[in-house]
Amino acid sequence: MSEYIMLSDEEMEELSCRTHNLVDILQEYQARLDKDYENEALNLSRMLMISALVSVIHRVYHNIPPEHQERLDNLLDFSGSNVIN
């Protein structure tokens, strides 16, 4: 049985804000990838950064209790985005 990280309401709010910031960074990098597609080395570097950020978000998200995951989903409201899953 895995242990979950228990978060207070304040920690949930902070996690929500930080996750939104990471999502903004991901979207910015994706826009740059779309714009600068001719520079493959730069794109590879950006894709690795995006992969690392998604990995961090995924790890944190899946190490909090399911009821907190649901609360975080509601706080984040990605409206159909598949960033975390």
Q: Identify the CA nearest to 83 among candidates 12, 11, 30, 7.
A: 30
Per-domain boundaries in the chain = 11-76
Residue 35 reports pLDDT greater than 50: yes
Cα 33 to chain centroid, rounded: 18
Q: How many CB atoms lie within 10 A of CB 72?
A: 19
Q: Could you tell me the two tokens for 20?
A: 């939104």
pLDDT at 79: 52
**Residue 85: predicted pLDDT:** 44
Contact, 4 vs 65, CB < 8 A? yes
The pTM assigned to this predicted structure is: 0.42
pLDDT computed for residue 23 by the predictor: 78
